[in-house]
Copies of this chain bind each other. A is one copy, B any other.
């Protein structure tokens, strides 16, 4: 349950930040840097993949294409996020397609390097467990919301989770979403038709819970937004 916002700066789904110094330096030391242009794909669902990535800057989306061709977004991830850890851990194919929403800087860590690092440093294991636990909670919440919350509630929920990972909290308590996102992606996250996402967003704008500053969304009343999300 999304009880409160944890904006990007004090976000704990953030592997790099919460590691002890030594491990952090080791992490960087054994990894290989990598750049991704906007719209470029890091890997596709179904690919077999070695290793995981740490997002240093930029924004990516994790998406799955359903049988019927619909794109469903599982998450939008910002700086500090760990990417591709599932395949690393269980040796199954990539579970989602990762593509860049803007230019990104990443570090790539091979599977061997990851486990070498982790075995030498149990904190890495604990941190990875924590990260997965958090993602699993989020996924479970989404499952429940899908089945019980209306379209407008799910759209509100989507903004809440965007703010959670990528929001920039202003001194006055409002939260700015620091990157451009289309209604299509919002609809894909909420699991609704694009047209209905549009209607729901406009309702939020009209009610003043949300506003648009240029092409960026700004959450005016975070508390009300959470309330509408019915979480």
Contact = CB atoms under 8 A, between A and B. Distances in A.
Nearest to A68: B148
- Specify the main secondary structure of chain A where it touches its partner: helix
A92 B13 CA distance: 14
Question: How many subunits of this chain does the assembly comprise?
Answer: 2
Contacts of A66: 144, 147-149
A137 interface: yes
A136 B134 contact: no
A99 interface: no
Among A119, A122, A128, A144, max chain B CB count under 10 A is at: A144
Contact of A191 (B115, B119, B137, B146): B146
A41 interface: no
Given A72-B148, A89-B126, A139-B143, 14 more contacts: A66-B147, A66-B148, A66-B149, A67-B230, A68-B148, A70-B148, A86-B136, A90-B130, A128-B129, A129-B129, A132-B132, A135-B136, A146-B146, A146-B147
